[in-house]
Amino acid sequence: MNLLKDASNMKTYIENDGFHALHITLEHTQDEIIEEVERSGLLGRGGAAFPTGLKMKFVRNEKTTPKYIVGNADEGEPGTFKDRVLIEKNPFQILEGMIISAYAIGASKGFFYLRYEYRNLVKEIERKMEEMREENLLGKNIMGTDFSFDIELVLGAGAYVCGEETALMESIEGKRGFPRIKPPYPAQYGLWGKPTLINNVETLANIPLIVNMGPKKYAEMGKEGCTGPKLFSVSGYVRKPGVYEANLGEYTVREMIEIAGGVDGEFKGLMLGGGAAGFILNGNFLDMPLCFKDAKEWGVSLGTGNIIVFNQSVNIWDVLLNIAKFFEHESCGQCFPCRYGTKRIRKIIEKILEGKGTTEDIEKINATARAMKIASLCPLGSSAMLAYESAMQNFRDELLEVIS
Amino acid sequence: MGSMESRILEIIEKHKSRDSKILPILHGVQDEFGYIPEKAIKLIARELRMKPGEIYDTASFYSFFRFEPPGKHIVRVCDCMVCHIKGASEIIHRIEKEFNIHMGETTKDGKFTFETVEGLGHCDESPVMMIDDKIYGNLDPMKAMKILRGYEQ
Amino acid sequence: MISLRINGKVVKAKDGESILQVARREGIDIPALCYMVEEKPIGSCGLCVVEIRQGNRKYYARACTTKVSEGMEIRTHTREVEEARKTILEMLAEEHSEIGGDAMKLFSRYHVRASGKTMRKEPNLVNNPFISFNPNACVSCFRCVQACSLKENHVLVRENRGSRIRIVAGINENLKDANCAFCGACVDACPTGALMDLTHREFSGELKRITTICPYCGVGCAIDYFVSDNEIIYARGSKKGVNKGDDCIKGRYGWEFVHHPERLKKPLIKKNGEFHEVSWEEALEYIASRFKKIREIYGVDSIAGLSSAKCTNEENYLFQKFMRVAIGTNNVDHCARLCHASTVVGLFKVFGSGAMTNSLEDLENDAELYFVIGSNTTHAHPVIGTMIKRAVKKGAKLIVADPRNIELASYADIYLRHRPGTDVALINGMMNVIISLGLADMEFVKNRTEGFEKLKHTVKRYTPEYVEKITGVSRDLITRAAVMYATHRSAIIYAMGITQHTSGTGNVASLANLALLTGNVGKPGTGVNPLRGQNNVQGAGDMGALPNLLPGYVKLGTRKAREIEEIWGDKIPENPGLTVVEMMHAASEGKIKAMYIMGENPAVSDPDQKHVIQSLKSLEFLVVQDLFLSETAQLADVVLPAASSLEKEGTFTNTERRVQLLHKVIEPVGDAKPDWWIITNLARRFGKNWRYKSPEDIFEEIRMVVEQYRGITYHRISDFGIQWPCPTEEHPGTKILHTVSFPTPNGLARFTPYEYKPPAEEPNSEYPFVLTTGRTYEHFHTGTLTRKIEGFNVLMPRAFVEINSEDAKTLGIKEGDCVLVESRRGAIKVRAKIADIKKGVVFIPFHFAENAANVLTIDALDPEAKIPEFKVAAVRLKKC
Ligand SMILES: Cc1cc2nc3c(=O)[nH]c(=O)nc-3n(C[C@H](O)[C@H](O)[C@H](O)COP(=O)(O)O)c2cc1C
Ligand code: SF4
Ligand code: SF4
Ligand code: SF4
Ligand code: FES
Ligand code: FES
């Protein structure tokens, strides 16, 4: 296990090579570290799979100071719980990755943004950071060098959209979590308008691995286009739901479901990538390798790497209603297409579930989906209809059966 | 009232120097009083040299900040995707029936405030509920009721 | 320059422009509902979405937020985007039952009609007299929120999120409780008619827009009045004025008095204690004969006149001319005596000129620091208050000195809460610190000033420790304020908190000393800047409505005075006349027998009210010229109905010396006449053959007499005013005074140090509290205008006394309790308002005749400027 090691106390972490990467880092230049990350091929684990090294380089190249780094532990996507398990089991690796990244981009301050629902982890994380300060791994002059860096933990307060990077920054700044209009991107205009690197905490936990093994060896885990280890949250109707670590590209969807104990009941379909902004797929996708690149070729995305398995008891319209309610509740309300669209979709699906759906309603859903896709201000609105659209492709007959 | 004010001021003082100020202060106030009183919003605004409306604009955005005192225990039942397909609705139904209440309300005796929430991040144990800070997983209606009755004592 | 294509056409654009800007310039109409401020697009509506191709990438983006870049191919009306726009509008239509305003056009363009059925709950904000809110029309576009925050008011905010998002005021309060300034910016911003002016009157036919100067404070905002059939329908701040589109509650909603039924419409003569309507002819004949008789019996100096800072320059000019040459006395003064006499005297002594040194424009753009002392700017001069708040948000520093925790104090870097009446000590203390830390601008002191040694000697004693004892401000704060002031490009802004003291002249001179000491004079963003209360305080003084100075501040009996005599063709008496307060004393002593009062209300505005009323009553003959039967007019023998400033032409000179032209908005109501007409016709009855046919005729004479105004003509200021001095018609006017030299004999400014003298009345065990008086945001002066406006009375119905919470506790007083406030001169009953005010200090506004604060105030005078000490009196409080 590279990520899910049980190393929640400092002693075990250090015994497992902990903070060795930080040590190495401080003996290298900033650009050398960024280059290693770039060469490793690491893609962000927060959903968008953006090349991490490139993002670091953007921030590094900005002239403005101070610079900031943010660890994104907002994990709001339904069916995703891998960040929580990672924080519980291997928190130091995340923090170490954050310090290394901070060094690489020249940040002196970092924020660890934790979703409210995980508030019982706050004390633990703060204690860990305190221990690190005592060991001079965090704070002034880390390990006796002239690199100083500290981390502030910020607890969210219940808003899925705050996982979106710019909304998250607004939230840290003490405002409502309205996503910002991009561009400018956080690399130029992040926290308090300063260059900011933001990464998912799982992404950050990969950084020490890269520094320790070197990018080449790291890249050997997985395959071209999707390197390194990845956490998968497997839930729904499987016998052993949980978080499983595997190298990218190592398994197919089917194999991953088997690892999680196999289907509980008779397989019907699954949701991939996220429990809201994800894809509703049928059995045809069981042989798709779990790799960012393959997923793209299959016309879907791995998202945060979660798999929710449906058995025959699951009604797809009911799932779609649940998702619609989720988006209506979680839309930030800033822009019309998403604010009004999410509500309209929910109302129509309710009508359909009452057995009163017509083809006109389907037309209306489609028109709404198109407007939301092109005119929403942030990805929440523009991806809110992915689930519906994929369900329409993969469960078309079942869905249209109830429409008159 | 005087002591409430001084307590709020202490909380503000404690977090004022943090870069993220406002969220930690609001959490501090809610941890102390169970909700965010109007008085607190005014004091926070005064101390941070902002207008009360600006603080409320922020606070009212987040679903976990509340502006009315809650019951003794806050019960959050997850009705998000995974919990939903694994039977959250039946649990919710049962609670609404047994306590004669709707989600979002507080029981008359002030013991419980019930809410549905969007994902507790424990989908490996779905269906899940959180009572105060504690997670209870792998529920069914009966199990949920038993746990709740335990809190009534 | 960037080159791109819009709908196939190649267009050029500047770097940094948005697609929407460029498209609009090209005449392409992209629907945009939420777009308001170019630099800060809100981006909520999504209607402006366009298709963009760049290289081989095709995507959709908002035209209002997306900057153009080289090679973009933009299509603004593809089927996809048009369909999306229509869908968005349809969704709005489903949710809302009413959509009005500009948005309506957009809806009809896409053939969509509001059809929502759910009635939305009103937020609490609606409960107020000026602004209505229709939740069914509000689409939460946030334009109002942006407008309110650009005004730095932050009253309207968003509540909740997602589809439940809505607009509320403050913590979901009503607008007043949320400290709404009723500036109306939100109403102007709203595209759907959800927010509307409640004062908007019904009208039929055509609406005309006429821009004139606001009838209230000295900022002199230009206001656009929308008029139909000789009735004002609504008003809003004009983009053409110094206010650049801003306004305040008074400018926007304060015009209703014009149409008030109680407006005087006919001349009145009192017979047997009752007023009877008479013709102008009869009234004027009667006045002339009575004045002549009294003059015959008691001599010229038994008559006195009060001119008005609410009347135009032309009228003030005529009034003093009338008193001087028709009656033959210098007994003429006006209410500026009560607000800024010490400014004129104090600044004159130091700089050689008694006016605001800088202009609003350079204060806004160039000041690095504002030192606001004795001015509740956001209430009394709201547009300047907003300017300061904006500047501070942009990084300017702010020092506030005030015993009350005024709104600006919460924006301040340093807040000095000194005891009322200890300003000289405070300022001397700051100078002491500046000198001892070597922060004085010695270069400036050497080249531009004289008397530095004298100053140094005086302030030596005022160490921070010593000043702490007098003012109650900690030595550390005094030092920090001094250092901050001295090390920035700093502007002093002050108002009546400085001037209305027995030490008023000393206060003003000390501020001027402070500015000289640090070289903060004669440069953009610096200076000593008194904010004038009434809209024409500056002008009334400029016009010589003063007992010792002629127009243009010419001293009596000088060569220049004789030049004026020549122009007038009349002799001017040489012995100085009486000031306002002296007139009242003289009246009660029987030395003044008759008075002519134009547009003033001394029965409420002057100190020691009981005494004033008694004085006015003891007159043999009193003429009052006003819009309403004011408390003073009720005591008169003849009352003349005057036209308001919205009903006439003329000029006002604002606080920054800008001479601005009035445009007639409506015809005078009833038989009311402009004051200049009244004075001219009265003068004829004294054998003066005045031939002014219009205010412009009078102004042409003013130009000959008053040097500072020589280059200004009606033509030049028909759109935007000019700041005096303006010596020739080619001269652009003077934005900043004293840039190269001072108007003193040797061109040098004169340090004029003052010692701290305690106020005339200090608290003791019998009268333990210090009373200070002032204004509220809603009302103006004695309320003759504002209290005729329903909405203002709803917001601020009655007087109150602000009291510190600890003091209240000791006295067992709770919010809203009735409190008896007593001074050595009288007592009033008012409601208690627990407020953040310095312990031992209480505050009462002076607008309310029925609980007149001036029953309590003392008429102790500043020995030089003769201004009364409104800001300090000793009182005691009792629950009643
Ligand atoms: C609506 C929305 C919610 C998101 N929530 C999360 C989240 O909970 N955690 C996360 O790491 N990224 C989330 N993201 C993605 C972030 O915006 C951002 O891409 C990510 O933190 C970047 O980190 P990475 O490069 O390491 O993946 C969300 C994005 C959107 C649009
Ligand atoms: S798309 Fe939705 S979540 Fe994103 S800004 Fe618009 S309303 Fe907010
Ligand atoms: S009137 Fe002015 S202060 Fe009041 S809510 Fe509207 S914009 Fe804000
Ligand atoms: S009141 Fe008007 S301006 Fe304000 S959000 Fe509603 S529609 Fe927009
Ligand atoms: S869906 Fe309920 S805990 Fe994840
Ligand atoms: S005008 Fe561009 S989003 Fe509204």
SS (HEC) of C571-636? CCCCCCCCCHHHHHHHHHCCCCCEEEEECCCHHHHCCCHHHHHHHHHCCCEEEEEECCCCCCHHHC
Is the minimum CB–CB distance between A36 and chain C shorter than 8 Å?
no
- Does C583 share its domain with C661? yes
C289 assigned to some structural domain: no
pLDDT at C753: 94
C261 assigned to some structural domain: no
Q: For the segment C472-489, what is each residue's pLDDT rounded down to a tens digit?
A: 999 999 999 999 999 999
Q: Residue A5 — left, alpha, or beta (φ > 0 → left; ψ -120 to 50 → alpha)? A: beta
Last residue of a domain, one of C178, C197, C216: C197
List the single residue in B18, B120, B126 with the smallest CB-CB distance to A235. B126
- The fraction of chain C above a pLDDT of 70, given in percent, is 98
* Token pair of C346 as six digits: 């104090």
CATH number of the structural domain spanning residue B95? 3.40.30.10
Least confident span in B72-86, C131-145, C752-766, C771-785: C771-785
Reported residue count of chain B is 153
Domain interval for residue B145: 73-150
pLDDT at A282: 97
C→B contacts (Cβ < 8 Å), by residue, are 153-161, 168-172, 178-179, 410-411
B8 assigned to some structural domain: yes
- Does C241 share its domain with C320? no
Cα A244 to Cα C857: distance, rounded to the nearest angstrom: 82
Rg over CA atoms, chain B: 18
pLDDT at C612: 84
3-state secondary structure A304-361: CCEEEEEECCCCHHHHHHHHHHHHHHHCCCCCHHHHHHHHHHHHHHHHHHCCCCCHHH
pLDDT at C519: 94
Q: Which atom belonging to ligand 5 lies closest to the Cα atom of B125?
A: 3
pLDDT at A229: 97
Region C455-463 average pLDDT? 94
pLDDT at A210: 98
ipTM above 0.90, yes or no: yes
- Asked if B50's CB is within 8 angstroms of C159's CB, the reply is no
- Asked if A78's CB is within 8 angstroms of B119's CB, the reply is yes
* Token pair of A140 as six digits: 């002034």
SS3 call for C252: helix
Angle at A112 between CA A106 and CA A114, to 5 degrees: 160
Is the minimum CB–CB distance between B103 and chain A shorter than 8 Å?
no
CATH number of the structural domain spanning residue C366? 3.40.228.10
- Does B90 share its domain with B141? yes
Instruction: Kindly provide the residue ranges of all beta strands, DSSP E only, lying in C456-511, ordered along the sequence.
Output: 490-494
* Helical (H) or strand (E) element with A268: strand A267-272
- Does C562 share its domain with C681? yes
Neighbours of C293 (CB within 10 A): 14
Across the A/B interface, how many CB contacts are shorter than 8 Å? Answer: 138
- Asked if B82's CB is within 8 angstroms of A275's CB, the reply is yes
- Going by pLDDT thresholds of 50, 70 and 90, the confidence category of residue C825 is confident
Structural contact between residues C701 and C551, judged by C-beta atoms closer than 8 angstroms: no
Q: Give Cβ neighbours of residue B102 (< 8 Å, ≥ 6 apart).
A: B96
- Going by pLDDT thresholds of 50, 70 and 90, the confidence category of residue C849 is low
- Does B52 share its domain with B84? no
- Is residue A382 scored above 80 in pLDDT? yes
- Does B89 share its domain with B32? no
- Asked if C87's CB is within 8 angstroms of A370's CB, the reply is yes
B136 assigned to some structural domain: yes
H helices of B86-128, in order, are: 88-98
Average pLDDT, chain C: 90
- Going by pLDDT thresholds of 50, 70 and 90, the confidence category of residue A11 is very high
- The fraction of chain A above a pLDDT of 90, given in percent, is 98
- Is residue B1 scored above 60 in pLDDT? no
- Does B82 share its domain with B135? yes
Is the minimum CB–CB distance between A159 and chain C shorter than 8 Å?
yes
Cα A185 to Cα A277: distance, rounded to the nearest angstrom: 22
- Does B53 share its domain with B77? no
CA A103, A105, A108, A112 torsion: positive or negative? negative
- Going by pLDDT thresholds of 50, 70 and 90, the confidence category of residue A30 is very high
CA C854, C265, C258, C311 torsion: positive or negative? negative
- Asked if B20's CB is within 8 angstroms of A173's CB, the reply is yes
Region C785-800 average pLDDT? 77
pLDDT at C784: 65
C474 assigned to some structural domain: yes
Q: For the segment C392-402, what is each residue's pLDDT rounded down to a tens digit?
A: 988 899 999 99
- Asked if C170's CB is within 8 angstroms of B52's CB, the reply is yes
- Does C361 share its domain with C345? yes
List the single residue in C83, C92, C94 with the smallest CB-CB distance to A336. C92
Average pLDDT, chain B: 95
Cα C190 to Cα A394: distance, rounded to the nearest angstrom: 45
Neighbours of C73 (CB within 10 A): 15
The backbone torsions φ and ψ at residue C230, rounded to the nearest 5 degrees and listed phi first, read 55, 25
- Is residue C534 scored above 90 in pLDDT? no
- The fraction of chain C above a pLDDT of 90, given in percent, is 63
- Does C568 share its domain with C455? no
- Going by pLDDT thresholds of 50, 70 and 90, the confidence category of residue C782 is low
- Asked if C158's CB is within 8 angstroms of B61's CB, the reply is yes
> Half-sphere exposure of A255 toward its Cβ, with a 13 Å CA cutoff?
12
Nearest C-alpha in C relative to B42: C171
Domain interval for residue C124: 94-197
- Does B112 share its domain with B44? no
Residue type, C587: A
- Does B93 share its domain with B56? no
- Does C398 share its domain with C490? yes
- Does B57 share its domain with B77? no
- Is residue C344 scored above 90 in pLDDT? no
C727 assigned to some structural domain: no
- Out of C175, C176, C778, give the residue to mutate to test ligand 3, the one with the largest number of ligand atoms within 8 Å of its CB: C175
C170 assigned to some structural domain: yes
User: A385 C-alpha vs ligand 4 centroid, how far in Å?
Assistant: 28
User: Which residues 135-164 on chain A approach chain B with CB closer than 8 angstroms?
Assistant: 152, 154-160
C82 assigned to some structural domain: no
* Token pair of C713 as six digits: 């003509």
Q: For the segment B12-67, what is each residue's pLDDT rounded down to a tens digit?
A: 999 999 999 999 999 999 999 999 999 999 999 999 989 999 999 999 999 999 99
If one counts the domains in chain C, the total is 6
Of the residues C157, C158, C815, the best mutation for testing chain B's interface (the one with the most B CB atoms within 10 Å of its CB) is: C157
- Does B145 share its domain with B119? yes
CA distance C145 to chain A (A): 12
B66 assigned to some structural domain: no
* CA B62 from centroid of its chain's CA atoms: 11
- Asked if C62's CB is within 8 angstroms of A337's CB, the reply is no
What residues pair up with A270 in beta bridges, in sequence order?
Answer: A281, A309
B27 assigned to some structural domain: yes
Neighbours of C, requiring at least 3 CB pairs below 8 Å, are: A, B
Distances (CA, A) of B138 to B96, B148, C59, C390, C442: 19, 15, 45, 56, 81
- Does C487 share its domain with C628? no
User: C67 C-alpha vs ligand 6 centroid, how far in Å?
Assistant: 13
- Asked if B130's CB is within 8 angstroms of A117's CB, the reply is yes
Q: For the segment C497-507, what is each residue's pLDDT rounded down to a tens digit?
A: 888 888 889 99
Distances (CA, A) of A342 to A371, A402, C259, C692: 11, 21, 50, 71
Ligand 5 first shell, C-beta below 6 A: A 78; B 78, 80-83, 119-123, 126, 128
- Does C562 share its domain with C700? yes
- Going by pLDDT thresholds of 50, 70 and 90, the confidence category of residue B2 is low
Neighbours of A367 (CB within 10 A): 18
Last residue of a domain, one of B61, B89, B110: B61
Strands B134-136 and B129-131: antiparallel
* Token pair of C400 as six digits: 């506030």
pLDDT at C535: 86
Q: Which atom belonging to ligand 5 lies closest to the Cα atom of B82?
A: 1
- Going by pLDDT thresholds of 50, 70 and 90, the confidence category of residue A359 is very high
Q: Is the CB of C236 under 6 A from ligand 3?
A: no
User: What are chain A's domains?
Assistant: 10-220 (3.40.50.11540), 223-311 (3.10.20.600), 316-400 (1.20.1440.230)
Q: For the segment C725-762, what is each residue's pLDDT rounded down to a tens digit?
A: 999 999 999 999 999 999 999 999 999 999 998 888 88
Cα A340 to Cα C164: distance, rounded to the nearest angstrom: 10
pLDDT at C846: 76
Q: For the segment A244-271, what is each residue's pLDDT rounded down to a tens digit?
A: 999 999 999 999 999 999 999 999 999 9
Of the two residues A60 and C339, the one the predictor is more confident about is A60
- Going by pLDDT thresholds of 50, 70 and 90, the confidence category of residue C781 is low
pLDDT at A90: 97
Neighbours of C670 (CB within 10 A): 11
pLDDT at A269: 97
pLDDT at C856: 81
- Does C693 share its domain with C552? yes
3-state secondary structure C165-201: CEEEECCCECCCCCCCCCCCHHHHHCCCCCEEECCCC
CATH number of the structural domain spanning residue C26? 3.10.20.740
Q: What one-character-per-residue DSSP string does C680-728 give?
A: HHHHHTTT------SHHHHHHHHHHH-GGGTT--TTTTSSS-EESP--S
C277 assigned to some structural domain: no
Cα C774 to Cα C376: distance, rounded to the nearest angstrom: 9
Rg over CA atoms, chain C: 29
- The fraction of chain A above a pLDDT of 70, given in percent, is 100
Distances (CA, A) of A245 to A3, A234, A373: 7, 11, 33
Region A211-223 average pLDDT? 95
Cα C359 to Cα C657: distance, rounded to the nearest angstrom: 8
Q: Which atom belonging to ligand 3 lies closest to the Cα atom of C153?
A: 3
Cα C173 to Cα C166: distance, rounded to the nearest angstrom: 13
- Out of C122, C142, C144, C155, give the residue to mutate to test ligand 4, the one with the largest number of ligand atoms within 8 Å of its CB: C144
* Helical (H) or strand (E) element with A124: helix A122-134
Sheet holding C528-530, edge to edge: C414-416, C397-401, C369-373, C490-494, C528-530
Q: For the segment C101-158, what is each residue's pLDDT rounded down to a tens digit?
A: 889 999 999 999 988 887 888 887 777 889 999 999 999 999 999 999 999 999 999 9
Q: Which of A29-38, C274-283, C803-812 has the highest mean pLDDT?
A: A29-38
- Does C383 share its domain with C521? yes
Reported residue count of chain A is 404
- Does B47 share its domain with B87? no
If one counts the domains in chain B, the total is 2
Cα C248 to Cα C220: distance, rounded to the nearest angstrom: 12
- Out of C30, C44, C92, C145, give the residue to mutate to test ligand 6, the one with the largest number of ligand atoms within 8 Å of its CB: C44
Q: For the segment A197-214, what is each residue's pLDDT rounded down to a tens digit?
A: 999 999 999 999 999 999
User: C269 C-alpha vs ligand 3 centroid, how far in Å?
Assistant: 45
Cα C23 to Cα C67: distance, rounded to the nearest angstrom: 12
The backbone torsions φ and ψ at residue A16, rounded to the nearest 5 degrees and listed phi first, read -90, 35
Cα A139 to Cα C264: distance, rounded to the nearest angstrom: 76
B67 assigned to some structural domain: no
Q: At which residue do the structure tokens 């006295």 appear? A: C811
Last residue of a domain, one of B15, B32, B61: B61
Q: Is the CB of C62 under 6 A from ligand 6?
A: yes
- Does B85 share its domain with B128? yes
C370 assigned to some structural domain: yes
Region A46-57 average pLDDT? 96
- Does C541 share its domain with C657? yes
Q: Measure the CA dihedral C153/C156/C159/C163, to 10°.
A: -140
- Does B48 share its domain with B78? no
Q: For the segment C191-225, what is each residue's pLDDT rounded down to a tens digit?
A: 999 999 988 777 887 889 999 999 888 899 999 99
Q: For the segment C232-281, what is each residue's pLDDT rounded down to a tens digit?
A: 999 999 998 989 888 898 889 888 888 888 899 999 999 988 999 999 99
pLDDT at A49: 94
Average pLDDT, chain A: 96
Of C320, C844, C374, the C-alpha closest to C561 is C320
Last residue of a domain, one of C475, C508, C530: C530
pLDDT at C835: 86
- Is residue C667 scored above 80 in pLDDT? yes
- Does C564 share its domain with C644? yes
* Helical (H) or strand (E) element with C498: helix C496-499
Region C653-667 average pLDDT? 93
Last residue of a domain, one of C719, C734, C761: C719
Region C632-646 average pLDDT? 92
SS3 call for A143: helix
